[in-house]
Chains A and B, each alone.
Chain A
Amino acid sequence: MRDQLQQQPRDLDGNPVTPGLPMAMLAEITHRCPLACPYCSNPVELTRAAQELTADDWGRVFRQAADLGVLQVHISGGEPGARRDLAQIVAHARDAGLYVNLITSGIGITRDRLEELDRAGVDHVQLSLQGIRPDMADRISGHPGSWDKKMGFAGWVQDIGFPLTINAVVHRQNLERLPDMIDLAETLGARRIEVATVQFHGWADLNRRALMPTREQAAFARTVVNDARIRLRGRMVIDYVPADHHAVYPKACMGGWGSTGLNVAPDGTVLPCHAAQSIPWMQFENVRDRPLAEIWHLSDSFNAFRGTAWMPEPCRSCDRKTVDFGGCRCQAMALAGDARATDPVCSLSPLHQQVVARAEADADADPGELIYRRMKKGDTS
Chain B
Amino acid sequence: MTVQPARLTPAPLIGADDIPYLPRGVRLADDRVRGIRVLQAPERAMQLDAIGDAILGELDGVRSMGAIVRDLAARYNAPPDQIAGDVRDFLTGLIERRMVFVRERP
Contact = CB atoms under 8 A, between A and B. Distances in A.
Interface of A: 21, 23-24, 66-69, 71-72, 74, 97, 99, 101, 123-124, 126, 161-163, 165, 191-192, 233-237, 239
Contact of A162 (B13, B24, B31): B24
Interface stretch (B36-44, B59-67, B70-78): B36-44
Contacts of A23: 45
Nearest to B38: A71
Contacts of A66: 33
A162 B42 CA distance: 10
A72 B98 contact: no
Contacts of B29: 71, 99
A72 B43 CA distance: 8
B33 A21 contact: yes
Nearest to B100: A234
A101 B43 contact: yes
A163 B40 contact: no
Interface in B20-40: 23-26, 29, 31-34, 38, 40
A69 B29 CA distance: 13
Interface string B41-65: 1110100000000000000000000
B98 to A, nearest CB: 4
A73 to B, nearest CB: 11
A71 B40 contact: yes
A101 B40 contact: no
B25 A123 contact: yes
Contacts of B34: 21, 69
B105 interface: no
Given A21-B34, A163-B24, A191 B95 contact: no
B97 interface: yes
Contacts of B95: 234
Contacts of B31: 69, 71
A124 B33 contact: no
A233 B11 CA distance: 10
B68 to A, nearest CB: 19
A192 B43 contact: yes
B76 to A, nearest CB: 28
Contacts of B26: 163
B82 to A, nearest CB: 24
